[in-house]
Amino acid sequence: MHNLTATGIADGVRSGKFTAAAVVDAHLERIAAVNPQVNAVTVVLSDASRSAAASIDAKVAAGEDPGPLAGVPISVKENIDLTWSATTSGLPFARDHVPPVNATFVDRLLAAGAIPVARGNMPDIGLRWDTDNDLFGRTVNPWDPARVPGGSSGGDAVAVATGMVAAGLGNDYGGSIRLPAHAAGVVGLRTSAGRVAAPSRHVEPLPLSIQHFAVNGPLARSVADLDLLFGVMHGADEYDPLSVTTEHPSGYDGPRRVAVTVDPCGWGVDPRVAASVRAAASSLAAAGWEVEEVEPPSIDRCATIWRQLSSTENAPMLLTPGVFPGPLSEGTVRYFRDNIVDVEMLDTSASYQGAWAERFVLASAWRAFHARYPIVLGPVTTQPMPLIGYDLSGSVACTDLWKAHRLLVTANFLGLPAVAVPTGTADGRPQGVQVIARQHGEHIALAAARDIEAAHPALTPIDPRP
């Protein structure tokens, strides 16, 4: 059963073709067989998931509606509140921090019949493009163990790719859903800012960049599954003041024009990545989209200000002794210290305010651009996934990674929805692209991603490569 999509599982349970109990047992067996090789799953929720499955099967037997996600086994990232286990964010001192209530979108998924079977690994506090921490250790890329699995939702991406779960829940502040989805050969949806409520109902004074750039969203093995999960997750709650509720259309019948950027702002692109973007563009053209190679507005400025704001706001919290409420891993501290070396920090009120003011101007330019081109197609990252340890090899490496991820962080900076979707393999590793739509245009991004997916067969689930 670990080969089935979330949609296939839900249809099978709802129709009585198989039971939720059988689905959960099959995925728990898959976790036992695969996770020792990849360390993607941190906590296995055996008892609670079997109890939830029994409740769903009882509803089916009684002729009741078990929900649109009946029996779908999911993973929940370590920084998303689920009362079944601690919300650790990968921090050893938080290993006993069991939340009193679930995140609102977790409750919505549970009510729809989804069953958490495991927690997904992440770098501590989620501020690295790799997945490693002092509490649970490193997650292994199942396609190439020498390379990083991406971060920060790396555990959930690998769990989905290897069939341990049908879908995962992650979040995305600088590509943290799309990058690991890309590395694992699965699909991932970065939602619009505010479209899915916060990962905790406990409101804290977070930096402005986290408030506006970070979002929650699903990872899965098909675009249809992303659509199904997002349709349940989205909407405001009474705790998150930035959350919004707006309609999620079931399809898209608007203008079908695509702006293709193969090498965003001309900073360089690997030939295999360029070929992947052009293959996706050809797929969209064949599906009836009007495709044009044209550069979206000011990607260089969007990426630069994202880095300035995230560095300026997070550096005092992470690097000043005694500010953060507990120790961080050596890797996270080292990465962040190296990362800010090449950053022009916004250390005056005028420069800080000016950066936020310029964001408004850039967002306006992108809104006008999206009115002409509803979809922007480009790379997830312009370079292959790096070897383990590359991000800890000095400030030059940190800057190179940021440049490779410039289109990723542009979507975060502007609060836009984007879908990462595979396009095949090269050198034995997944290749893929992302499609970016206007704010609250998840249905547009999903429509384009479906057409790309239709031309490129699914890559997962796989058995980990030695």
Phi then psi for residue 293, to 5 deg, are -80, 110
And the tokens for 276?
């992947």
Amino acid at the residue 44: V
CA-to-CA separations, 312 to 79, 107, 208, 307, in angstroms, rounded = 22, 34, 11, 8
Average pLDDT, integer, range 417-441: 98
Residues facing residue 453 across a β-bridge? none
| Residue 272 confidence (pLDDT) | 98
Task: Supply the range of the domain harboring residue 115.
Answer: 6-301+348-454
Angle at CA 231, nearest 5°, toward 183 and 409?
A: 40
pLDDT interval class at 430 (50, 70, 90): very high
DSSP annotation of 451 reads H
> Is 343 within a domain?
no
The number of distinct structural domains making up the chain is 1
* 403 carries an active-site annotation: no
**Residues in the chain, how many?**
466
* 59 carries an active-site annotation: no
CA 17 to chain centre: 31
Q: Where are the beta strands (DSSP E) in 62-166?
A: 73-77, 115-120
| Residue 303 confidence (pLDDT) | 98
E strand or H helix at 425? strand 418-426
Domain harbouring 385, CATH code: 3.90.1300.10
Average pLDDT, integer, range 411-440: 98
pLDDT above 90 for 120: yes
Residues 325-330: contacts with CB under 8 Å, at least 24 apart = 325/93, 326/91, 326/92, 326/93, 326/94, 327/92, 327/93, 327/134, 328/91, 328/124, 328/125, 329/90, 329/123, 329/124, 329/132, 329/133, 329/134
| Residue 84 confidence (pLDDT) | 98
Catalytic residue among 75, 77, 85, 310: 77
Cα separation of 195 and 209, whole Å? Answer: 16
> Is 270 within a domain?
yes
- For residue range 54-86, list pLDDT tens digits in order: 999 999 999 999 999 999 999 999 999 999 999
> Is 326 within a domain?
no
pLDDT interval class at 203 (50, 70, 90): confident
Cα separation of 275 and 387, whole Å? Answer: 22
> Given strand 187-190, what is the order of strands in its sheet?
41-44, 115-120, 73-77, 167-172, 215-220, 187-190, 418-426, 429-436, 375-379, 257-260, 290-293
Amino acid at the residue 31: I
Catalytic residue among 75, 85, 152, 153: 152
* 222 carries an active-site annotation: no
Amino acid at the residue 405: H
> Is 340 within a domain?
no
| Residue 8 confidence (pLDDT) | 98
Residue with tokens 């998150």, as numbered in its chain? 240
> Is 59 within a domain?
yes
User: To the nearest whole number, what is the mean pLDDT of the chain?
Assistant: 97
Share of the chain above pLDDT 70, in %: 100
| Residue 172 confidence (pLDDT) | 98
> Is 335 within a domain?
no
Share of the chain above pLDDT 90, in %: 99
Average pLDDT, integer, range 162-174: 98
Report yes or no: 89 and 122 within 8 Å, Cβ to Cβ. yes
pLDDT interval class at 204 (50, 70, 90): confident
Report yes or no: 256 and 374 within 8 Å, Cβ to Cβ. yes
Residue with tokens 């989620």, as numbered in its chain? 126
Average pLDDT, integer, range 12-35: 98
Report yes or no: 336 and 313 within 8 Å, Cβ to Cβ. no
> Is 320 within a domain?
no
CA-to-CA separations, 297 to 242, 267, 281, 284, in angstroms, rounded = 26, 15, 19, 22
Amino acid at the residue 320: T
Catalytic residue among 85, 176, 276, 283: 176
- For residue range 239-254, list pLDDT tens digits in order: 999 999 999 999 999 9
Report yes or no: 438 and 367 within 8 Å, Cβ to Cβ. yes
| Residue 462 confidence (pLDDT) | 97
Average pLDDT, integer, range 132-147: 98
| Residue 457 confidence (pLDDT) | 87
> Is 341 within a domain?
no
